[in-house]
Amino acid sequence: MLEELNETTDWLRARGITQPEIGIILGTGMDGLAAHIEIEKQFSYNVIPHFPIATVEFHFGKLIYGNLSGKKVLAFNGRFHYYEGHSIQDVVMPIRVMKMLGVRWALLSNASGSLNPAFEKGQLMLFDDHINLQPENPLRGANLDELGPRFPDMSRPYSAKLNSMLREIARERGITLHEGVYASVQGPNLETRAEYRFLRTIGADAVGMSTVPEVITCNHMGLPCCCISILTDQCDPLNLQPINIEEILRMAKEAEPQLTALYIALISQL
């Protein structure tokens, strides 16, 4: 795995990706941020050595390198999900690649379902903590000491500095930014009423099918990270409606400009 990672990063450096400062993982319906990047280089995932291919139709599969808010950014427009059939190592490969290329901050985003009745769909939630219910862990197996320690600490998985800055930016701009706990499940099916009740009981404010493996990898590699989720649906077990994927994508698109504004402002201050 380390040999493949080195081959991937060497290939990208040879093609001009040499000074990335901030890495960005763009979640479902959040490609709008990419439009603000002054692009220097971009590559489809299928031409990058050892890179997996995103199979979800609304995850585009493109690596973008350029300038945003005066910083060099490396944006992965399209993430990999365990439910697609990827190995857990494929899922977290973008994190490892960005860190090995020199990225100092990782900004993640996703779409999730709201479990907290006080959080409305179309609003944003800043991750304070998470509950990992994924069936695999990217650190399972022999540890690669070149990447990080055998037993990484997870007492503060999300950067206190980044979260503090995002709170202040949201306050200044009048953007509602909830804070909560995210539960990550395998998917791809949505949850049952009983499962939603269980997730609320164990302390989750939102649920989704991504992000936590990437955050574990960030912490393993010493890469400070944050994540904002767009809450695209209400997961009320007492009044559960059949899922509507088109509605979820529409909600993500409507709320995405606020998330983009927060991250552009954050990048300018880093």
CA distance 236 to 42: 41
Per-residue model confidence as pLDDT tens digits over 40-96: 999 999 899 999 876 554 446 899 999 999 999 999 998 889 998 999 999 999 999
The CA distances from residue 250 to 30, 154, 253, in Å, are 11, 34, 5
Q: Is pLDDT at 219 greater than 60 in this prediction? A: yes
The amino acid at residue 99 is: K
Residue-level pLDDT at 60: 61
For residue 64, what are the β-bridge partners?
42, 75
Q: Which has more pLDDT, 117 or 245?
A: 117
The amino acid at residue 106 is: A
Question: What is the fold, at CATH topology level, of the domain defined by 2-269?
Answer: Rossmann fold (3.40.50)
Residue-level pLDDT at 59: 47
Q: Over range 228-248, report the average pLDDT.
A: 87
Residue-level pLDDT at 54: 63
Confidence bin at 1 (pLDDT 50/70/90): confident
Average pLDDT, the chain: 93
Helix (H) or strand (E) holding 74: strand 71-77
CB 49 within 8 A of CB 7: yes
- The domains of the chain are located at 2-269
Residue-level pLDDT at 245: 80
Q: Over range 213-229, report the average pLDDT.
A: 98
Length of the chain counted residue by residue = 270
Strands 71-77 and 38-44: unpaired
Q: Over range 258-263, report the average pLDDT.
A: 95
